[in-house]
Amino acid sequence: MVKTKAIVFDQGNTLVMDPFLQVMERKANRFVELFEDHHIAVNSQELVEKWAKSNSRVNYPYIGHFLQEEPIIQDFLKHLGVAADKGVLLAPELLKEYRLGYMELVKGDPRTKEAKQTLETLKNRDKRLGIFANDRQVALEAVLAHMDIKHYFEYIKTSESIEIEKPDLRVYDHIVKHFGLPPDQITYVGDDPVRDIDTAKRAGLKAVLLKVSPTYSEPWRKYDVEMEYEPDATITKLSELADLIV
């Protein structure tokens, strides 16, 4: 059991799972149509493979991988051999279509219902709730609104909004300052052993590791590392918090 007065969540792969491959599968044919509108022939398999490589390759402060950003798409178009004069017009159309697909997935994902039920349970126990993500502020707030869970949180911040990214300890100082509680009365829930768990523990918070898939990894996340601290608890789905948090 984890005794706490406030709970702060990570977003990506915690409240929302990485939707990239699902969006690609759902929207591949539509993406091909957008290329054809610009008189560009492209194979759907090559499109998905090159976009996926760019999504893994392109990384910079505050980047929003889940909602995608135009530099990712421009990199993908460049490696696909699309001329710049066509790419500059095509990229916003691809970005819009991707985001529509993302929002559709989020709305229909059973995890969205699970997240709402979990947050409702915690709120009814008078737990104070927050969320912090390495992301764009507008991206985070758009997703929370689409999931219809924004109203549960008193604290909604991103690395962009405070200009600091996890695993910087100042992120957790910012969280503690907002809640005005001793650090050990605040619990951070996330999926990343380094950015979410180890650093939160070093800052004096409690930490719960969400380990949905032990095989998930990305270049910008470090999973196979030796941790200084162990999480206070490990869960495999959000609903387990209802029985864990007191």
Q: What is the pLDDT of residue 214?
A: 64
Whether the pTM exceeds 0.75: the reply is: yes
Spatial separation of the C-alpha atoms in residues 8 and 204, rounded to whole Å: 14
Spatial separation of the C-alpha atoms in residues 112 and 79, rounded to whole Å: 35
C-alpha 34 chain-centroid distance: 27
Residue 236 has pLDDT above 70, yes or no: yes
Please spell the DSSP secondary structure of 91-152, one letter per residue: HHHHHHHHHHHHHHHHHH-HHHHHHHHHHHHHHHTT-EEEEEESS-HHHHHHHHHHHT-GGG
Average of per-residue pLDDT across 191-210: 94
Mean pLDDT over all residues of the chain? 93
Give bridge partners of residue 7 from the DSSP assignment: 129, 187
Q: What is the second-level CATH architecture of the domain 6-17+109-244?
A: 3-Layer(aba) Sandwich (3.40)
Residue 216 has pLDDT above 80, yes or no: no
Q: What is the pLDDT of residue 220?
A: 52
Spatial separation of the C-alpha atoms in residues 89 and 84, rounded to whole Å: 9
Q: What is the pLDDT of residue 228?
A: 76
Model confidence over 143-183: pLDDT tens digits?
Answer: 999 999 999 999 999 999 999 999 999 999 999 999 999 99
